Amino acid sequence: MGRPPFQLALTLSYDGSDFFGSQVQPGRRTVQDELERALAALYGAPCPVVFAGRTDRGVHAAGQVVSLPDPRSDLEPATVRAALNARLPTDLVVVAARRRPFRFNARYDARWREYRYRIWSGGHEPLAARQVWMRSARLDLAAMARAAMLLHGEHDFASFAGGGEGVPWSPRQAQPRGTRRTLFASEVRRLTPWWRGEGAGELFEYRVVGDGFLPQMVRALISAVAEVGRGTRPTSWIADLLEAKDRRAGAGTAPPSGLTLWQVGYEAFGSAPAQAGAPAAAASNAEE
């Protein structure tokens, strides 16, 4: 038997609150476990998948992409999508299915990934608790926007790298790019709360797009931006952290509840809409 001539590219949306992350972990409920269980039930055989980006426990996704060799090229992608959704739990859904050339790899062909992080500044909101970072302190939008702007571009993000990778002796530093990454967008805006009218607090969203992310990097970035917004640190502190290149000098790590992997792009950023399975590109890291 030859190899399958195509890859399936599946775009996933999930509420990460009750998952122990995206990747398989023995004895834990993960997105990969649930998806591969549904695929095996559909195709009658194990179907390992490749994720475009790793998401930690409690992190959500609106546009996660996975790829796998297509076991049944006679099935239309729309049929595969419907059949999988009939077998998946309610907190995980396939929002799109496409057939791509066999060489397509959801992780290594990705050119950029977009994350969004939401913070609620106000009283407790039970309808939003699983989707935002709740802060009682007032946050200054203009200050956060200035702080986010300083993160734009190519920098050494060691001060924002978790998992032991942000210290000078980390093995990550021996890799070709080390802890250097490029952010194509880094911005903060105010949103209208979806659960009630305005007036009881403020909802903010941090949008960041990059060619790769270090472990827990987005959550460290927004933690630092929020410190500036709270007035406990000056805007210049962001530049100091970038210059330090050491996680021990960094801010804390924001909780996972506010973070969503928004979309994954397979063309150069800004050149075309994100679409799973575009022409292959250089490999990039994708951890959060």
Taking 70 as the pLDDT cut, the residues of the chain under it are 1-4, 197-199, 271-288
Q: Is 18 a catalytic residue?
A: no
How high is the pLDDT of residue 196? 72
One-letter identity of residue 227? E
Q: 3-class SS at 29? A: coil
How high is the pLDDT of residue 200? 80
Catalytic choice (56, 70, 156, 211)? 56
* Residue 98: partners with Cβ closer than 8 Å, 6 or more residues away: 8, 9, 77, 275, 276, 277
pLDDT in tens, 45-54: 999 999 999 9
The enclosing H or E element of 94 equals strand 92-101
Choose among 234, 236, 258, 229: nearest CA to 138: 229
For the chain, the first-to-last Cα distance in angstroms comes to 38
Q: Which domains are assigned to the chain?
A: 6-101 (3.30.70.580), 112-265 (3.30.70.660)
How high is the pLDDT of residue 182? 98
Tell me the whole-structure pTM to 2 decimals.
Answer: 0.91
Q: 3-class SS at 236? A: helix
How high is the pLDDT of residue 281? 39
Spatial distance between the Cα atoms of 119 and 234, rounded to a whole number of angstroms = 20
The conformation of residue 124, written as its DSSP 8-state character, comes to -
CB 39 within 8 A of CB 50: no
Q: How far is CA 274 from the centre of its chain?
A: 14
Task: Give the 3-state secondary structure of 41-69.
Answer: HHHCCCCCCEECCECCCCCEEEEEEEEEE
